[in-house]
């Protein structure tokens, strides 16, 4: 359940940022306290159905905008998937992957 809260929170944050709106303004538009929005975005609580419907109405969002997690993972799941992908690669590809990753680890 905790992972679902985080993922839904990330999706709501993505919708907010896509619209270039602060947490305070977004929460005012959808009728919740800024602290409640912060808790939702940080995966500490689930949004109510009323909140989801309000976001859909005010920001032209679709249900799949909240629940399509194919590309969005929490940090732990993402790390696990990256490790599994690397493990399946032949040694020469692992060396290439290592060099690429090392470039980002400044």
Domain ranges of the chain: 2-67, 75-104
11 neighbors 65 (Cβ within 8 angstroms): yes
* pLDDT value of position 15: 94
15 neighbors 51 (Cβ within 8 angstroms): no
* pLDDT value of position 73: 60
* pLDDT value of position 48: 94
pTM above 0.85?
no
* pLDDT value of position 57: 95
Sign of CA dihedral 61, 67, 68, 71: positive
Tell me the average confidence (pLDDT) per consecutive run of 10 residues in the chain, 106 residues long. 80 94 97 97 94 95 80 70 90 92 80
* pLDDT value of position 4: 80
Query: Domain 2-67 belongs to what architecture?
Result: Orthogonal Bundle (1.10)
């Amino acid at each position: 359940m905790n992972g679902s809260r985080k993922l839904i929170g990330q999706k709501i944050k993505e919708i907010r940022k896509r619209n270039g709106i602060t947490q305070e303004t977004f929460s005012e538009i959808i009728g919740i306290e800024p602290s409640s929005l912060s808790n939702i975005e940080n995966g500490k609580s689930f949004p109510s159905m009323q909140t989801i419907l309000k976001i859909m109405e005010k920001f032209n969002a679709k249900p799949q905008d909240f629940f399509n997690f194919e590309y969005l993972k929490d940090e732990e799941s993402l790390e696990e998937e990256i490790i599994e992908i690397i493990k399946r690669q032949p040694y020469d590809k692992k060396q290439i992957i290592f060099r690429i990753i090392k470039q980002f680890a400044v």
